[in-house]
Chain A
Amino acid sequence: MSAFPDTPVSLLARIAAARTGASEASWTRFFELYQPVIVKFAAFSGAGREAEDVAQDVFVKLVEVFRRSAYDPAHGTFRAYLATMIRHEVVNRWHRAAVRAADRHVSIDNDEHPVELSAPSETAAILDARWRLARRQAAIEHVLTKTALSEKSKAIYRAYVLEERPIEEVAAKFGVTNNTVSQTKTRIARMIAAHEELLGE
């Protein structure tokens, strides 16, 4: 099961309360946290430019789930549950869209041309890999744009890790030692890992 933490029931309660308009702030925060990863996952799953629309649909579905108190803590951590549900919802949404698109071109009576639905047939491993990639990218983007790490630290991380420049070159460019480059990478990697943890398994 997930190594990620449980989310307390109080968060669920607040979100469920928001269904009645009582806790808008909680919803806002929830969306802010999860939207980037959902959009990325949807994009990786073939939603393309509709990824943001998919994210909105997912949130609508989530509100409904929370309203019905569909989450049972006995079945695992909330974050794992949430991540699984997001994945399912993105794929189902993609599936429905594919069916609609196919209906426009293929008669439902035409058994000779069944609609190809690649997404649902994909293995769980591929979905998991996409999810992890989306989560990692969302976390990197968050840490490099939304946190108060110094611009220099962020630039060192970009050059050394994302652009894969040699450590000596990065150190020379920013006027620091190789050790500082290495330490900066470690520091930021820890922050990224912590943010990934927030987003669930």
Chain B
Amino acid sequence: MDIQTNEVIGSYRILRPLGQGGMGAVFEVEHVKLGVHYALKVYTLEDDSAELFRKKFAAEGRLLARLNHPNLVRVIDLDIDEQRGILYYVMDLVLYKDGEARTLGNIELGGVDEDYLFGLFRQLSDALGYIHGQGIVHRDIKLDNILLAPDARVFLSDFGISRVVSDRLRGEIGVTCTKVTPSGSGSVVGTHGYMAPEVMRGEPATAASDVYSLGVAFFKLLTGIWYNEDLEPKEPGASAGPVDAVRLLADFERPWKDVLPEMLRADPSKRPTDLSELVRRLEVAPHQQKSPAASTRRRHVLAVVLAAVFAVAALVALTVYLLTSNRQLPPTQQQGNDDDLTRDAFALPESVK
């Protein structure tokens, strides 16, 4: 595929290359009439599987076009240029503050803290939850597929190997991407290192597989090292693993040490699928967490308050009891005791009168 600057494809003038994905090249383009800039992704039709690829491409475009979420790249247009032997689709252009297309995989994030990462986690969990709700599995969640915008927003991109798992959608779109890979050869699709164990074994990817991949991505972002099976946490009660991933996560202020090991469980049926619940668990802001000293102080205050409440309750109970008892007393005793008890009960000490 040889596409030059200023070349016009459909209604779009090529301005510059933005990157090379696993399944095609991406360019910044300008709509020749509207002057609006977009990203244009191109696939070549030059191999034997062109027809299958063409179907896959159309499916991907249709799939993307129906999605609408603030953290998903929106598809604008889709077409085939038979003369050039290319397929292309046009998407919203997402550029970082340096004017380049940056992903979490190709930017130096050293120095970002977990609050920032939590913001990313919230957005991506929301986006992933949305596409799962639409019956779609992304199948290639990785840092290189997460685009950064200047306002700390992130966009999940590259649904090139997405799989439609909903029967209803499968029928509407007309073809699934299950057996289509960049090489057109196998059914194991994804990126090494991010792929869930079941996908590595050749089993179909599910929403739980995406959850695993998202866990891998955030393990790397938090700890600076790649997660792999020799770090895999053991199930509770099992003997300690080689290097417990929890140890690497234990000292962050948010409870990543609880959430990520669940996302990274080897058994997909044991992974959480409700990502919004994970966000809620991580949501506890560090300053809201209780330090041991603060907890001790709080316990003391609580004890004082409880003691005061108990004292008042006891006083009220005693008063009620005595008043009730008085009604049962003979009139001669009742009068005298009432006065004395009332006076005594509500009498202020001499020192404060």
Contact = CB atoms under 8 A, between A and B. Distances in A.
Given A26-B193, A190-B251, A198 B228 contact: no
Contacts of B247: 190, 194, 197
* Interface SS, B side: loop
A35 B114 CA distance: 26
Interface stretch (B68-76, B217-225, B338-346): B217-225
B112 interface: yes
A150 B113 contact: yes
A14 B191 CA distance: 14
Contacts of A33: 225-226
Interface in A101-130: none
B113 A149 contact: yes
A151 interface: yes
A29 B192 CA distance: 11
Given A148-B114, A179-B293, A6 B250 contact: no
B252 interface: yes
B185 to A, nearest CB: 14
A188 B117 CA distance: 19
Given A148-B252, A198-B243, A29 B228 contact: yes
Contacts of B293: 179
Nearest to B241: A5
A65 interface: no
* Interface SS, A side: helix
B223 A147 contact: yes
Contact of A148 (B193, B222, B229): B222
Contact count band on B: 20 to 34
Interface residues of A, number: 33
Contacts, number: 84
A151 B111 contact: yes
Contacts of A5: 230, 241-243
B192 A23 contact: yes
Interface string A1-20: 00001111011000000000
A6 to B, nearest CB: 6
B106 to A, nearest CB: 14
A195 interface: yes
A7 B230 contact: yes
B248 interface: yes
A72 interface: no
B251 A191 contact: yes
A149 B116 CA distance: 11
A146 B248 contact: no
Best-surrounded residue of A33, A151, A195 (most CB of chain B within 10 A): A195
**A-B complex: 8 closest residue pairs judged by Cβ atoms:** A146-B224, A5-B242, A187-B251, A150-B113, A25-B192, A29-B226, A194-B247, A148-B114
Interface of B: 110-117, 191-193, 221-226, 228-230, 241-243, 247-248, 250-253, 286, 291, 293
